[in-house]
Each structure stands twice: as structure tokens, then as C-alpha cells.
Amino acid sequence: MPRDWGGAYLKKSLWEDAAIGRTSGGAARGVDQDCRRYQDPGAEGNMPTEFAFDNQILVLDGRVLEIFHRDTEESLRYHVAFLRVDGQPHGDGFKVRLGRAYGANDITGGRRWKMTAAQFAEFREFIALAIAARDNEVGS
């Protein structure tokens, strides 16, 4: 018997519409014209934010960042308090590493990516939201 995914299917449909350039009312729901970031006001004003590139989707929901990959069943979750990101120029793009903060300046686990300059610019905007969530105390 198929499982009823309720609202999850609706969000998937909105993402697919955005990915091919249709908004289906998405402009009111915060679908960016470049089809890379998606915000859904959801209940009580919470706004999970997504950043998609290649086969990855990064979701920032409050103070939790989760990474999904199209080709695996596993996802990675990080509380923003334990998150560390490093991006270094590499050729005409960037090498990016995101994972759990370890020691004074190290990163353990996580993911590594090569991004174009355009992808990195959008990633920086997205990760700035995670940094802001980390720097804001709960209840502020």
C-alpha cells in the first residue's frame, strides 16, 4: 500500500516546478527566479531554506542544517553550533568543505565539493543564514 506523504509531496512538486522554471504560485511562496533557493513560510512563520546544486540539496531549518544527496539514502545533519565551513579558490572555482567543527580550525566528516564561482556565490548567501542562526541565541 503506498504511503501518504501529505505535505511532503506538495513541497516536492513546488521544487520540481521551480527547477523547470514554473512557479505554480511559487512567487508567493518564495521561489527564487534562479531556481536554486526555495523558502516555504510553513506553519508559524518558520522558513526552511534550501540550496540545491548538482545532486545535492542542503536544507537549513532553524538551527539544523541537513544535506541530502540524490544517489544515497543517507543524509547528514548538523546543529549550526557544531558546523564549520571552509572554501578555498581552486582554478576558476572553489573547493568547499562542510562538516563538524573539530579542534581550533579543523573539520571532520561532512562533505567536500568543487563549485563554480556562480555556485559558490549562491552557497555563500545560503551558508550566511546558517552562520546567522549560529550567532543568534535561542529565544533572541
pLDDT digits 0-9 by tens, 30-88: 433 333 544 544 444 556 899 999 899 999 999 999 999 999 999 999 999 999 999 99
Domain assignment of residue 69, yes or no: yes
In DSSP terms, 67 is beta-bridged to 58, 76
CATH of the domain at 73: 2.30.29
Q: Residue 88: is it exposed, middle or buried by C-beta count within 10 angstroms (0-12/13-18/19+)?
A: exposed
Q: For residue 12, is pLDDT > 60?
A: no
CA distances, 93 to each of 15, 97, 98, 117, 120 (Å): 26, 13, 16, 5, 8
CB atoms within 10 A of CB 124: 15
Is the whole-model pTM more than 0.85?
A: no
Domain assignment of residue 54, yes or no: yes
Domain assignment of residue 48, yes or no: yes
Domain assignment of residue 2, yes or no: no
Domain assignment of residue 22, yes or no: yes
Domain assignment of residue 140, yes or no: no
Residue-range definition of the domain harbouring residue 42:
7-135
Q: What is the number of domains present in the chain? A: 1
Cα(63)–Cα(8) distance, integer angstroms: 20
Q: For residue 132, is pLDDT > 60?
A: yes
